[in-house]
Amino acid sequence: MDVGKLVAVIGDEDTVTGFLLAGVGHRTAEGSNFLIVKQDTQLTQVEESFQKLSQRNDIGIILINQHIANDIRHVLKDYNQTIPTVLEIPSKEHPYDPEQDYIMQRVNMFLGGGGI
Amino acid sequence: MADVPPTRMNQQIFKGKKKAAEGGHKLLKKKADALKVKFRDYAKAIAETKSSMTGDSSNAFFSMTQAEYAAGNFKQKVAEGSMTARVRVGAGVDNVAGVKLPVFTKYDTGAAADNQSLGLVGGGKKIQNVREKFTDLLEMLIKLASLQTSFQTLDEALKVTNRRVNALENVTIPKIEGILGYIARELDELEREDFTRLKLVQGKKEIEIKREAAQKAKEAAKIMVSGQARPKSNDADITAAFDANDDEDVVF
Amino acid sequence: MSTPAPQAAAGNIATFNILHGFPEALVRGMRSSFLGDQDYHHLTQCETLDDVRLNLTETDYGDAIADFNAITPAVLQKAAIEKLVTEFKYLRTQSVEPLATFLDFITYEYMIENVMLLLKGALSGRDINELIEQCHPLGMFKESTMRSIPTFENSARGYADLYQTVLVDTPVGPYFAMFLQESSEHQGTDARHVLEEVEIEIIKSSLIKYWIEDFYHFVQKIGGETADIMGELLRVRADTNAINITLNSFGTPLNEPAMRSSDRKRLYPAVGHLYPAGTTELTEVSNEEELGRVLDLFPQYAAIWSMHASGGDKSIDDVFYERDVQSLELAFESQFHFGVFYAYAKLKEQEIRNLVWISECILQQQKDEINKFVPVFSFHSPWRGSKRR
Amino acid sequence: MGDNSATCSSVYCNQGWAEVLTHMSPYGYANFGVAFGLGLSIVGAAWGIWLTGSSLVGAAVKAPRIRSKNLISVIFCEATAIYGVIMAIILTNKIKEPENPDYYLEEGWDYNGYYYAGYGMFSAGLSVGLTNIASGVSVGIAGSSCAIADAQDASLFVKILIVEIFASALGIFGIIVGIIQSNACTFPIAALG
């Protein structure tokens, strides 16, 4: 565990480029830890990529754009591992909507239901 | 319930069990409360971070727009070529009320940045700005990831604890109490049964004694009157004597 | 490399139109397609991208975006570039020598960019179709050549083949040859090592430097008005590059003392107002303060630098853009020269940048920043003062 | 010239260009004047139309509204040619044959008037031709700018048109001077009385 885990990114071009500039990118012969989702990227490709990334044990966090997360919600619902953590982040074109985030739903339910 | 023999021994055992269950229930309740407090903290922190994330990320994206304005289309160049992660996350563990929570910490490998001379002929400063903004955002996201994982783990732990508390409260303890009540009832019942039986036996005995006494007096009178009836009286005497003796033996 | 002389004379005031009157008038007609102050005003008032689209349908971009139901900044950019390329290609087909070569020179800049993109993509094993799609359409060259670039093997022999294809088949080949030759003389390594070791951005900067020099010599050979106006534009461009390279090298390996006098110096174009005295001074510069001191010696850049150094609202890139737009607009003030073609392409590029900027600002709800662009042919430009016709 | 004298030994041979020019008939001069006047004017006009026309069609691609309005620039150029034609007609009318055409001119022929008319008309033709070339080119350049400017901003049209009119006026100067020059040129048709 001396090297730490990677942060994977699935997102649109701006998101991925930004995080690559921040230095999360890792590309080896086996593949890379990011996926740029474009207009013409197939849904199955995103799903596949998510499955692959979530099964790698050198990845600690998966950042995913919310609008892409919505597209593969069915896969995310079945996903119940703690690590890698799936984190939904806003994208440039789609402002963040807490309503759609599973975690935020839980949080709101708890905070709203339990009262602060 | 019925398979527990209602003995005094079992009563003792279940009394012990009840005590243990109540103690456990108290402890678990405490743990659940502690978790709940922590859980609420995390929930609040997540809600806060997520809402501030919106601002931070739009800042970061806007810095990208600025850089693109200044440096032209550089995005495609970033994703080219092989690269090594400069930023990784170390996984630590935090302990809350006996629940292990994973904690991510940002961890720089110290490798040299890729694409350093990006935007050399214009916009380099803006690209630098993008790097900084996204690094900040990344740090925040890593924090958020820890929070979120902890939140999920805590959520799970809290559910388990609550389930246990509820199980103890609503199932285990009532069950033990039921058993204890049953044993107590059974034992009381037995006692009462013995008492009645004793009474009954006593009453019967008295009647017998009286009858015997009357018989003896009759026989004595018969013997005295005639000696022919002797063998008959002898038979009856034997059985009567047996019965009485038997009863006496068993009960006393 | 020696710049070939133009195959025909561009002509003077009385003869220019004989060969180039039509394309010149074309490009000047296209000048009316630039968005005006009114258009920009309307665009900046938009709330959504749909409003932007609606506003654009009434401008020259109407046809270009007519096919899109919804636009994103990326779509808009692509459509606008396509439009520019169509116009440019039209000009190119209507032109004869030496204008044809001049127009080709303009495309070389994008071609260099594309070659670098293909090379880098090839090194990381990307799909060729995807790469070609990402290329700037103005810098396209023979498709078969483009396809062959990423197919070379990753071996000494493969590199030799690549060298051959890139060198021989593309117009930017000579720049490559010069770069490789200079690098191998300098470091004593062969072509393969150069391509492997030198950062792609630096190779690109070197090629751009050769391109500027070559282009500059070419317009000088054309002579006349073109040499004056276009020469000035290129000199300024060369200076801008030199200053930017110096400024952006701070904090990178390129700023290390050993690299400064060798690698960084080689990126400075050998033309321009700064050359040679200024660029020699620039080689010694190691931080912003020193750079400011050098630029103080050149009045036209001292003003720009002071804007940057004061840390005001505008970054140095913005100031350079403003200056570029100003000098490019000036090219339109004079007739019978080639500068307008270059100016047109560059100003259109600025306009596309503006459009993308505005639409991005609207998309990201950054209304405060929306006016931070440099309008083209605006009556409100600082250099026009408040004078109206 | 030296070569010519060496190869030609006949008395009718011209000893170089100087002799050609001095021996040329005034009728020849007069007709050359007409030719130069008309020809150069037309060259000027054609040049101007070329300059204007190429810009006009080019600019009209993006701004079709200019195409008929800017034909006026072409007409201005055309005017230059018309000046040449007018001058040519005037000059041609002045060339008159002798009453008794013969191989030799009559006794007492007005040689002064004869040569004066020849040279005068030649010069008048050149005056008109050369000024019209200049005028044509300058109208052309102005017209080309006019088309381009009009394509950009319609309000500039009239302003540049004035420039064009001045350029066109240059040709008029030429024709005025040409007419005055040729006024005194009368070919003698008979010997002086």
Please report, in angstroms and rounded to a whole number, the separation of the first and last CA atoms in chain D. 41
CATH number listed for the domain at residues D32-93+110-183: 1.20.120.610
Contact C28 D151 (CB under 8 A): yes
Using a CB–CB cutoff of 8 Å, tell me whether B69 touches chain C: yes
Which residue in chain D is spatially nearest to C94 when comparing CA positions? D58
- Residue B92 has phi, psi (to 5 degrees) of -105, 180
Using a CB–CB cutoff of 8 Å, tell me whether A92 touches chain C: yes
More confident call, C373 vs B116: C373
The whole-number pLDDT of residue D125 equals 92
What is the tens place of the pLDDT at every residue in B48-57? 888 788 888 8
pLDDT-wise least confident of A44-53, B163-172, C117-126, C375-384: C117-126
DSSP three-state, residue B99:
strand
Q: Under 8 Å CB-to-CB from C258, ≥6 apart: which residues?
A: none
Mean pLDDT, rounded, of chain B: 79
Q: Which of B69, B122, B125 is closest, CB to CB, to C357?
A: B69
D176 is written with which tokens? 């005025």
The whole-number pLDDT of residue B230 equals 54
More confident call, B232 vs A97: A97
Q: What is the mean pLDDT of residues B93-114?
A: 75
The whole-number pLDDT of residue D5 equals 47
Question: What count of CB pairs under 8 Å joins C to D?
Answer: 70
The answer to whether residue C376 sits within a structural domain is: yes
Contact A92 C363 (CB under 8 A): yes
How close is the nearest chain A Cα to the Cα of B191, in Å? 53
* Structural domain harbouring C71: 10-96+336-383
DSSP three-state, residue C268:
coil
Q: What is the mean pLDDT of residues B60-83?
A: 78
What is the tens place of the pLDDT at every residue in A6-32? 888 888 888 888 888 888 888 777 778
pLDDT over 90, % of chain C: 6
The whole-number pLDDT of residue B48 equals 83
Q: Is the pLDDT of residue B98 over 80?
A: no
How close is the nearest chain D Cα to the Cα of C23, in Å? 6
Q: Which residues of chain C lie closer than 8 angstroms to D62, CB-CB?
A: 26, 29-30, 32-33
Q: Is the pLDDT of residue B247 over 60?
A: no
On whether the CB atoms of residues D82 and D172 are closer than 8 A, the answer is no
How many Cα atoms occupy the beta-carbon half-sphere of A25 within 13 Å? 26
The answer to whether residue C128 sits within a structural domain is: no
What is the tens place of the pLDDT at every residue in C20-37? 888 988 888 888 888 888
Say what the ipTM of the complex is: 0.79
pLDDT-wise least confident of B76-80, C157-161, C201-205, D139-143: C157-161
More confident call, D68 vs C197: D68
Q: Is the pLDDT of residue C130 over 90?
A: no
More confident call, D35 vs C64: D35
CATH number listed for the domain at residues B8-184: 1.10.287.3240
Query: Which residues, in sequence order, are bridge partners of residue B94?
Result: B101
The whole-number pLDDT of residue B163 equals 87
How close is the nearest chain B Cα to the Cα of A88, in Å? 10
What value, to the nearest 5°, has the Cα angle with vertex D87 and ends D82 and D89? 95
What is the tens place of the pLDDT at every residue in B22-47? 888 888 888 888 888 888 888 888 88
More confident call, A94 vs B141: B141
Which residue in chain D is spatially nearest to C13 when comparing CA positions? D141
What is the tens place of the pLDDT at every residue in C216-252? 999 888 888 888 889 999 999 988 888 888 888 887 7
Q: Is the pLDDT of residue B13 over 70?
A: yes
Residue type for A55, please?
Answer: Q
Q: Is the bond leading into C375 cis (omega within 30 degrees of zero)?
A: no
Contact C13 D55 (CB under 8 A): no
Q: Is the pLDDT of residue A2 over 80?
A: no
Q: Provide the pLDDT confidence category of residue A3 given band limits of 50, 70 and 90.
A: low
Q: What is the mean pLDDT of residues B68-91?
A: 76
Q: Which residues of chain A lie closer than 8 angstroms to B92, CB-CB?
A: none
The whole-number pLDDT of residue B252 equals 46
Which B positions 74-113 lie with beta carbon below 8 A of chain A? 75, 78-79, 81-91, 102, 104, 107-109, 111, 113
Reading phi first (left if > 0) and then psi (alpha if -120 to 50, else beta), residue C336 is in left
C296 is written with which tokens? 């103080």
A39 is written with which tokens? 């207009």
Q: Which residues of chain C lie closer than 8 angstroms to D137, CB-CB?
A: 14
The whole-number pLDDT of residue A69 equals 86
Q: Which of C13, C22, C28 is closest, CB to CB, to D152?
A: C28
Q: Under 8 Å CB-to-CB from B79, ≥6 apart: which residues?
A: A16, A17, A20, A25, A34, A36
Q: Which residue has the tokens 């403003």?
A: C322
Q: Cα separations (Å) of C234 from C140, C240, D135?
A: 23, 10, 36
Highest-scoring range by mean pLDDT, C61-70, C242-251, C377-386, D79-88: D79-88
Q: Which residues of chain C lie closer than 8 angstroms to B66, CB-CB?
A: 369
Q: Which residues of C158-191 are buried (b: 16+ CB within 10 A; e: fewer)?
A: ebeebbebbbeebebbbbbbbbbeebeeeeeeeb
* Residues of chain D falling short of pLDDT 70: 1-9, 193
The whole-number pLDDT of residue D134 equals 93
**DSSP state for residue B183 in the 8-state scheme:** H
Total number of domains constituting chain C = 1
Contact A27 C124 (CB under 8 A): yes
* Structural domain harbouring A46: 6-110
On whether the CB atoms of residues D91 and D37 are closer than 8 A, the answer is yes
Contact B86 A24 (CB under 8 A): yes
Using a CB–CB cutoff of 8 Å, tell me whether C62 touches chain D: no
Total number of domains constituting chain A = 1
Distance CA D43, CA D129 (A): 9
Q: Provide the pLDDT confidence category of residue A116 given band limits of 50, 70 and 90.
A: very low
On whether the CB atoms of residues D95 and D129 are closer than 8 A, the answer is no
More confident call, C38 vs D1: C38
Using a CB–CB cutoff of 8 Å, tell me whether B57 touches chain A: yes
Q: Which of C68, C72, C130, C131 is the best residue to mutate to test the A interface, defined by the most A CB atoms within 10 Å of its own CB?
A: C72
Q: Is the pLDDT of residue C169 over 80?
A: no
Q: What is the CATH number of the domain that holds A76?
A: 3.40.50.10580
The whole-number pLDDT of residue B251 equals 44
User: pTM of the predicted model, to two decimals?
Assistant: 0.81
The answer to whether residue C127 sits within a structural domain is: no
The answer to whether residue C322 sits within a structural domain is: no
